[in-house]
Structure 1
Amino acid sequence: MVVHIQEEDEDELVIKFEYSSERVKKVKKIAGKRWCPEERVWIIPYTEEAINKFFNLFSNEEIVVDKSLNIGNASDNILQSRSVKNLIEEMKEEIQLQGYSPKTIDVYLGHIKRFIKFHKKHPKKLKQKDVRKYLLVLLEQQKTSHSYANQALSAIKFLYKEVLQKEEVTFNLTRPKKEEKLPVVLSEQEVIKILDSIDNYKHRAILFLTYSAGLRVSEVVNLKADDIDSDRMLVRVKQGKGRKDRYTLLSEKALKVLREYAKRYSLDEWLFPGGKKGKHLTERSVQRVFKKACRKANIRKNVSIHSLRHSFATHLLENGVDLRYIQELLGHKSSKTTEIYTHVSNKNIGNIRSPLDDLV
């Protein structure tokens, strides 16, 4: 699995990974490290010594470095070559010209950099067997999800077809079968407990709006004050996933919380401004707010801020809202994406009586 490193502040770095005793042993060897139980991450000093130690300890794992950090190890040399830098820039321009979102651009370029770093060769010199080998390493050795490997393949296909004009390298490559995972959904009572646990007016407004409108975290942080249409009781989502505009619900209760928040905070361009002037709140900050609220509400489920969106859709379905309307509110391109909520809803299954109850 992936090990993430990103900036906490000017003096410290955040290390995140899925738990394993071996990884914990490694990170404990870094001088000045500390465990942050609230966010369940490791913190290390932002020093050359600590960074080099980190890369040496985790040299056999996939390391994802936040784009804001200008750090790396010796194996990154291939990425610093002029030909590869030019290729990455050419791919970035091609993705932008095709109208992909900034998030997709970052994801695709990240996959290509890891692909190049793995083989330590310019992609022009690689063949289909090299792509297959990389995908097998992702799935079998690094134990990444099938969706992650599929995303990596999509980025590699884009590179060879649209940039290098060598489509034959990835032609007929088999995609990993899509995993049929069901979203984790909160009950209505659990949502109430989470929302009631928050005292901070700004944090309350964020989570109330996220749940009541079924927003993605990227959408809620990018909202502006004029996106709240209190006359029509709608929230306008501009350039959501897939670069689509849409409208979704504005709850009366959420509007009341928003007004309480607006009385106490000086709003500028953004509905939820961040710490830096002219910038909106970061997605990571919202995720931290949600995690803190879950701990305070004693929620034991393994949920994320996106679970509020899943819960919004499921609760609408359980309350009799037509799936087509839910699809529109969520901004799903395909109805098949929305249909997953029929598998987690208790609307029908909740009325079925277990045979055990008739036996005992």
Structure 2
Amino acid sequence: MSRAVDLPGAAHLVLADGVVHLDPEPAVFQAMLDGWARQQRTRFLDEDGTIKPRMSVVRRFAEFTNQYPWQWEPAEVEAFIDYLRSRRKTFAVSTGRNYQNALRMFCEYITDARYGWPVRCLERFGQAPVQILHEWNTVTHSSEYEGEADRRPLTYDEVQDLFDAAEARVEEIRARHRKGSLAALRDAILLKTVYAYGLRRQEACGLDLADLRRNPKMPHYGRFGGLFVRYGKSSKGGPPKRRTVLTVPELDWSTDLLDQYLEEVRPAFSPDKHPALWVTERRGRMSLRRLDEAFETARRAADLPEELDLHGLRHSYVTHLVEFGYPEKFVQDQVGHAYASTTAIYTGVSDEYRNRLLQQVLKEQHAELWEDDET
């Protein structure tokens, strides 16, 4: 008899031999989950961002079917996705794809003979797990963008209304002589920084004082020539991506705001030696949830559409850089996209900008006609 292969997540490593379980089915299922988690950790996948969400999908599916993995059939997963879609009208294609991918990868793991689960299940339950997701019952990737159709960048006016509302909240709290004006001022500056540098939530909250960068080509910006982002979105199995986002002249008003924050606002929180750029009243780092709340508070105060979210400011940044005339490669590097197609999805230029481009092309192609019109 051949010796079992010691692959990370192999059945004999997470399911002890010779142990008689009072309730063997849930014990084997839990061992499968433990083994799959181990296998993913050896690939350096992110625990909170990747592994735990995948495990949650598998558990939800098992609860929905009231069956164990060696009992699953394709009909169950089709009913599961149909149930989710019927329960939530905004259930996006991309979400369905993620659910299906998680279940497909779990089935790939438990049906791979190298991990030993088919043999164990046959011995104990008389059934072996099978792959239940195939080309004919999964989402077809036919479009680059699979998110919600109503998600979009904020227009120039909406960005201004959002910032005006955030500033007005500071004055309102001060006028009522209540606590919280300092935090409201911090939130207003933070929201403007998210837009001025096209940051994701984690990127903004993960900034430290040491991440402020000088730009030798733009010495007049001082210590605010750019931001060194160390917690960019990682590829699967890789560490967070790093990049330096340069301050652009059209948005260099952010340098005065950051200077005000560092000189007046941040010291008032008494952060001592805390390295974080954005700190809270409790002398801790700003959380993702608190940043979301800051945006929602300003959005409601500005009476902006509910479909607009914090990530829309990043989309606005990309769109506005394009409208400012920056090359696509520069915009792509600024926001840390690996592919230009991703940057293109983020872009939603205005009709006014497109008309200016048309006029420019027409002027170049028919210069004589334009000269006659001008005279």
TM beyond 0.5: yes
Aligned to 1:169: 132
Structure possessing the higher relative contact order (Cα contacts under 8 Å, 6 or more residues apart): 2
The 8 Å contact of residues 157 and 167 in structure 1, kept in 2 or not, is answered as: no
RMSD: 2.9
* Structure 1 residue identity aligned to 2:133: T
Once residues 316 and 99 of structure 1 are traced to their aligned partners in structure 2, the CA distance between those partners, rounded to angstroms, is 35
Of the candidates 227, 230, 233, which is equivalent to residue 235 of structure 1?
A: 227
TM-score (norm 1): 0.67
- Which moves more between the two structures, 265-274 or 142-151? 265-274
Deviation at 1:314, TM superposition (A): 0.9
Aligned to 1:327: 332
User: Which 5+ residue runs of structure 1 have no aligned equivalent?
Assistant: 1-77, 354-360
* Structure 1 residue identity aligned to 2:313: L
Once residues 84 and 270 of structure 1 are traced to their aligned partners in structure 2, the CA distance between those partners, rounded to angstroms, is 42
Q: Does 1:310 align with 2:257?
A: no
Deviation at 1:216, TM superposition (A): 1.0
The 8 Å contact of residues 212 and 249 in structure 1, kept in 2 or not, is answered as: no
TM-score (norm 2): 0.64
Aligned to 1:191: 159
Of the candidates 52, 59, 73, which is equivalent to residue 127 of structure 1?
A: 73
Deviation at 1:142, TM superposition (A): 4.2
- Which moves more between the two structures, 136-145 or 99-108? 136-145
Deviation at 1:257, TM superposition (A): 4.0
* Structure 2 residue identity aligned to 1:162: Y
Alignment length, in residue pairs?
274
Q: Does 1:152 align with 2:93?
A: no
* Structure 2 residue identity aligned to 1:186: L
Once residues 191 and 280 of structure 2 are traced to their aligned partners in structure 1, the CA distance between those partners, rounded to angstroms, is 16
Aligned to 2:190: 206
Once residues 289 and 313 of structure 2 are traced to their aligned partners in structure 1, the CA distance between those partners, rounded to angstroms, is 15
Deviation at 1:235, TM superposition (A): 1.3
1:169 aligns to what SS in structure 2? coil
1:280 aligns to what SS in structure 2? coil
Once residues 270 and 311 of structure 1 are traced to their aligned partners in structure 2, the CA distance between those partners, rounded to angstroms, is 26
Identity score, percent:
22
Aligned to 1:252: 255
Larger relative strand fraction: 1
User: Which 5+ residue runs of structure 2 have no aligned equivalent?
Assistant: 1-22, 113-128, 171-183, 215-222, 235-239, 248-253, 360-375
- Which moves more between the two structures, 106-115 or 157-166? 157-166
Q: Pairwise mapping of residues 1-360 of structure 1 onto structure 2 (< 5 A)? A: 81-101=26-46, 102-140=48-86, 142-143=88-89, 144-165=91-112, 168-172=131-135, 173-176=137-140, 178=143, 179=146, 181=149, 183-196=151-164, 197-198=166-167, 199=170, 200-230=184-214, 231=223, 233-242=225-234, 243-250=240-247, 251-259=254-262, 260-267=264-271, 268-274=274-280, 280-300=285-305, 302-346=307-351, 348-351=353-356
* Structure 2 residue identity aligned to 1:221: C
Distance 1:318 1:89, change over 3 A: same
Distance 1:183 1:325, change over 3 A: farther
Deviations 1:188-208 (A, max 9, x none): 232233223332232123212
Deviation at 1:153, TM superposition (A): 0.9
